[in-house]
A and B are shown apart, each in its own frame.
Chain A
Amino acid sequence: MKKTLCLMLIVTVGLFSLTGCQTAMGIDKFYYIIALGIDFSENHLLKVSIQTTDNGSGESNGSSGSGSSQSSNYKIYSVEAETIDSAITILNNYLSKKVNLSHCSALVFSEEVARSGISPYISALNNNTELRHSCEFLISSGSATDVLDMVSKSGESFTSRLFDYLTTSSDYTGYSIISTFGTFFSSLQNSYRQPCAVYTEVKDDIIQNSGIAVFRDDTMIGTLNVLDSISHLMVTNALNTCQISIDSPFKENEKADLQLRLYKNTDISFDMINHAPYITLDLYPEGTIISSGESFDYTDNNHIKKMEQATNDYIENIMKQYLYRITKEYQSDIAGFSGKYSSEFLTKDEFDNTHFQELFRESFFEVHVHTQINSSNLFNKQ
């Protein structure tokens, strides 16, 4: 009898696990978005755009037969609201499903929004438990909605990957930086380093990296070009590899192409001269010659030395241009010099007494480049 009662109890409880629950939040009740764009509307409100698959739920697409949430048909929905959260609530109501950010692969802000101060939007998004820190973070020269639209029409099967390509191309071009929501939020919180992000432009139906969007605190104040981006990666020791074209030291009007990487981290030393920071940088690039015209002989050590000197001059030139732009033009320490200088002090009070952060704009630089050419690819002579 006792056994039967126990069995009945287990079966009764077990029955509940076999039933559906009307109020349960399942995968079919969410709208998974691929990218989020933030603009200002004509009514001076926030215009929040989401890029999503045609059904948004990851259900199978009839035409492609794909079960992936990244199917090839995309839709963009835009709403106007005062805050990001209220925009998402409006979208929840309009779509009759809950918008879910856990698969959001890119966050695009328009330059207009970035120039007005980005902190309230970043704080709102950071408080969201769904959004990943690895989500790509982009600043668009034009409207963020245009970027989402362009990506949707790119023909790329998996558009979330296109956002990845946009930023990971910095690994082999050096023309942009790694910029994710997490890295941007960290630098926004960091009192020793100003934030920066990938700057994209939409031109002739193509989205391309155009360098770096420079911020002071939470406000975008300008942009750096792709050569500045290479310099930035060298100073911050984040350069993977890049390609540069320099004037050939052997023949006028000829160019030489080199692939560079750093064989040693950049050394930075500080001095205070007449209440102005005097910063010395020692850079250690290692180069491979990709092409250098017709008249070269790298079996001759003099040729290598000449090429190294030409590379040193070129890097010193672009580096100084970058350093003076961030100090004099933008007054934004995106390279984190303050943090490096602070490590020379034992206490924060001692560091604060130097007023380095206020004096940063008065900085002047000395750059030493120690290039090593170690390969000429397939031919040593031509």
Chain B
Amino acid sequence: MDNNNYMLQKSEAICIFLIIMANKLILNVPYYIISLVGTGAIVNVIYIGLLDFVFVFVLIKLFDKFQNSDIIDISEYLGGKPLKWIIGIIFIAVFFIVAFITLVDFTNILQRIYFSDFPIIYILLFFIAAISIANLSGLRAISRTTSFIVVLTLISIIVTLFGIWGDVTIENFTPILGHNLRTTFLVGASNCFSMYFITYIYFIKPVLKDPVGFKKVVLTSYGLSWLLLLLTIIPIMTLFNIDVSNEPINALYLIARKIELGNFLQRVDALFIFLWILSIFAYLSIVIYFINRTMKKLINVSNEKMLTFSNCSILLGLALIPINISHLRFIENTFYRYMILIIIFGLGMLIMLLANVKFKWKGKKKA
């Protein structure tokens, strides 16, 4: 099979979804959830889990009518080329913003922890080179590498839970409903953004080898991602007091620093950081792949791989924009939160609903 037309097996698609979710967990997303709702985080995660499940379930149903189509194809069906271009550009912008935040945040952490004497561009170039090579090798290489890395990444996340298990007490999670009902359920509903991998549901169907298995892939990924989120929340709530106005650069890293397996295995954070570097490679490669694919649909190029160079250059350029920690914090916790809610949960769903209405209306007209 030509590498350009490689289709994903169900398990590979699940691994891709999981690596996307794992990267949000590695960065500070779970901490932002807790900082909003306090000790009500467990209840809040269950609550947003239900809300997101309803959303995902409706989305799957809305995709039923459109075989082998992603949101770009559906936009073209709904509003022709203008809408296709608008939606395409919006989603490319979302992908770039998310990739840029991830890259900048993680390279900053790496620089501060291990490479304080190195200019950040060296670390960035290291990532950009790896992403470029992965995308030039094609989806097969990306998905197979991801399938391998995701297992190690998930193990590292789960080990952090067991690493602090001795410190878990009921007081860390009570009062169970957090500050008050309004914060946990009304304000806390905005934590739906944490299940960011939902964005890729809009794009995954045409790259699935068996589109009939779409529902199974999405629901399995959803269940596992939600479980991962819950498992990451527990150690963070155990170690950090959200009432005190301190905020770690990376909560999971600080937990990993604490883990010691007897006297013979200490400083496992070094190993975890290595795994997380691989995980960020895999994740960014996936993002650039979907940017390439979306661009290909918009501008009708024959080989999307050649777009890798330009897209990786744009990503590098964005990552070199001098932003300080307060800007990054604002983008990650506020801008990113509402961008996901408005575009992915609002605009995406609206397009799907209208496309389904048009499909039914056309069907009735024919009849």
Contact = CB atoms under 8 A, between A and B. Distances in A.
Nearest to A349: B180
B178 A347 contact: yes
Interface of A: 25, 102, 129, 132-134, 182, 186, 189-193, 336, 339-340, 342-343, 345-351
Contacts, number: 59
7 contacts: A132-B257, A191-B243, A342-B171, A345-B174, A347-B178, A347-B180, A349-B179
A126 to B, nearest CB: 9
Interface of B: 38-40, 112-113, 117, 167, 169-171, 174-181, 239-241, 243-244, 246, 257-258, 260, 266-267
A308 to B, nearest CB: 30
A339 B167 CA distance: 14
A348 B178 contact: yes
A351 B171 contact: no
Contacts of B241: 186, 189-191
Given A191-B244, A346-B177, A349-B179, A339 B171 contact: yes
A129 B112 contact: yes
Contacts of B181: 347
Nearest to B117: A25
B171 A340 contact: yes
A182 B257 CA distance: 10
Given A134-B260, A348-B38, A348-B180, 9 more contacts: A189-B240, A189-B246, A193-B171, A336-B171, A343-B170, A348-B175, A348-B179, A349-B179, A349-B180
Nearest to B249: A127
Contacts of A134: 260, 266
A157 to B, nearest CB: 17
Given A132-B266, A133-B257, A134-B260, A189 B244 contact: yes
Contacts of B180: 347-349
A336 to B, nearest CB: 6
Contacts of A336: 171
A348 to B, nearest CB: 5
Given A347-B178, A349-B179, A132 B171 contact: no
A344 to B, nearest CB: 8
Given A189-B241, A189-B244, A348-B178, A129 B113 contact: yes
A243 B267 CA distance: 35
A347 B175 CA distance: 5
Contacts of A129: 112-113
B185 to A, nearest CB: 11
A339 to B, nearest CB: 3
A343 B174 contact: yes
Q: Which 9 A-B pairs have the closest CB atoms?
A: A339-B171, A343-B174, A189-B241, A191-B243, A345-B175, A349-B180, A346-B177, A347-B177, A133-B258
Contacts of B174: 339, 342-343, 345
Contacts of B257: 132-133
Contacts of B167: 186
Given A132-B266, A189-B246, A190-B241, A343 B175 contact: yes
Contacts of B170: 343
B175 A351 contact: yes
Contacts of A190: 241
Given A129-B113, A134-B266, A343-B171, A348 B240 contact: no
B252 to A, nearest CB: 15
Given A133-B257, A182-B258, A186-B167, A350 B243 contact: no
Contacts of B178: 347-348
A216 to B, nearest CB: 15
A191 B245 CA distance: 11
B141 to A, nearest CB: 22
A289 to B, nearest CB: 31
Listed residue (A192, A350, A351) with the most chain B CB atoms within 10 angstroms of its CB: A192
B118 to A, nearest CB: 11
Contacts of B246: 189
Given A134-B266, A192-B171, A346 B176 contact: yes
